[in-house]
Amino acid sequence: QVKPQFESRVNSTFGIFKAIVYRTQVVAGINYFIKVQDSYADYVHLRVFLSLPHENQGPSLVSFQTGKTKDDPLTYF
């Protein structure tokens, strides 16, 4: 659901955009840290915030890190 937000921020489009692994952090909602494969050998790390259900808002791309590899650990950023 955040692929269009990411593509808009990096001014590019991606044929591959596959979540590989994720972690969560509970705050006033949930932060998702997601490792995404965006090409054959390239990966990005996304931080996505999902607010509490009563706020009725979709997921929001908060931050991202490009230039990652498959073996880079997924940590808080």
Fold of 1-68: Nuclear Transport Factor 2; Chain: A, (3.10.450)
pLDDT of residue 61: 97
* Rounded distance between C-alpha atoms, residue 15 and residue 25, angstroms: 29
Taking only the tens place, the pLDDT of each residue in 17-70 is: 999 999 999 999 999 999 999 988 899 999 999 998 888 888 999 999 999 999
**pTM of the full structure:** 0.89
The C-alpha angle 49, 28, 63, rounded to 5 degrees, equals 25
Task: Measure the N-to-C terminal CA separation of the chain; round to a whole number of Å.
Answer: 20
Give the residue extent of every domain in the chain: 1-68
SS3 48: strand
pLDDT of residue 35: 98
